Chain A
Amino acid sequence: MSLRTPLGRVLGLGAARDGVSHWWSQRLTAVALVPLTLWFLVSLARAGSLDFESARVWLTRPLHSVATLLLVIVLCLHSRLGVQVVVEDYVHSPGAKLVTLVLIDFAHFVLGAAGIYAILRVTFGVAA
């Protein structure tokens, strides 16, 4: 005999309600990061000395801006999901767990916002 309600079976969300979407987002961002990270590594290495001018020229090219934006966004999402799981597994006291999870959320939003802002600022040529 199953104790699951018919609605619960149809929705298929499990007891925590958002486990499936967390699991799925983790995989989706992982798959996206394979080409993004490899591109970033190769493209940046080939850009040369990475002094101020050449780094700016590199980042200003449209394809590079867009791909770096995507990289920063997807990295923040993937990192947040990953660190969340680790905290959930290893931080046992409920209070500390909540505080740590909130701090990790904030930290990732700050990093994401800072990265996006920096890329746009360089790309749209605000004089530095």
Chain B
Amino acid sequence: MYTMVLSISHRITGLVLSIGLIVLIYWLIALADGRGAYSTALESLRSPIMQWLLLGWLFSFFFHLCNGLRHLAWDCGFGFERKQARASGWVVVISALTLTALCAIWIVHLRGATA
């Protein structure tokens, strides 16, 4: 049951990240378009809703990354026993949450230092 929830979460975070890809491309296009377009883009990216969404994307990224590495290990034939799969599942959830928190704190800290 638990491993099943993780499996569907890999797909959901993947889809979420695909939507995030649109935001990344939008940012690049705005940067190429010029000062006006870029400040509009930054303004919307810095709105409270977008900041929360960006945090969601950050978590989705770390979750998808950690769980993806778990899948790659399986592909190589490691960790497929039920006990190992459960244990690595917990490692994925805890690492993803920790990395998201650390990264968010780090980014806020850097922003404070340069602002």
Return the chain B residue nearest A30 by Cβ.
B68
Interface residues of A in 5-43 (CB under 8 A from B): 27, 30-31, 34, 37-38, 41
Q: How far is the CA of A48 from the CA of B31 in the complex (A)?
A: 16
Assess whether B110 is in contact with A48, with CB atoms less than 8 Å apart. Answer: yes
Given contacts A27-B72, A86-B11, contact A45 B32 (CB under 8 A): no
Assess whether A59 is in contact with B31, with CB atoms less than 8 Å apart. Answer: yes
Q: How far is the CA of A101 from the CA of B75 in the complex (A)?
A: 26
Of B38, B75, B114, the residue contacting A48 (CB under 8 A) is: B114
State the interface size on chain A (CB cutoff 8 A).
35
Given contacts A48-B110, A128-B35, contact A114 B65 (CB under 8 A): no
- B interface majority secondary structure: helix
> Contact flags (1/0) for B62-105 with A, using CB distance below 8 Å?
00010011011001000000000000000000000000000100
What class of interface size applies to chain B in its complex with A? 20 to 34
User: Does B50 count as interface, using CB distance less than 8 angstroms?
Assistant: no
Assess whether A128 is in contact with B14, with CB atoms less than 8 Å apart. Answer: no
Q: How far is the CA of A121 from the CA of B65 in the complex (A)?
A: 30
Of A31, A34, A72, the residue contacting B25 (CB under 8 A) is: A72
User: Does A103 count as interface, using CB distance less than 8 angstroms?
Assistant: no
Of B28, B110, B111, the residue contacting A115 (CB under 8 A) is: B28
User: Does A117 count as interface, using CB distance less than 8 angstroms?
Assistant: yes
Min distance, Cβ B3 to any Cβ of chain A, angstroms: 17
Min distance, Cβ B111 to any Cβ of chain A, angstroms: 7
User: Does A50 count as interface, using CB distance less than 8 angstroms?
Assistant: yes
Return the chain A residue nearest B75 by Cβ.
A27
A interface residue numbers (CB < 8 A to B):
27, 30-31, 34, 37-38, 41, 45-46, 48-52, 55-56, 59, 68, 72, 75-76, 79, 82-83, 86, 111, 114-115, 117-119, 121-122, 126, 128
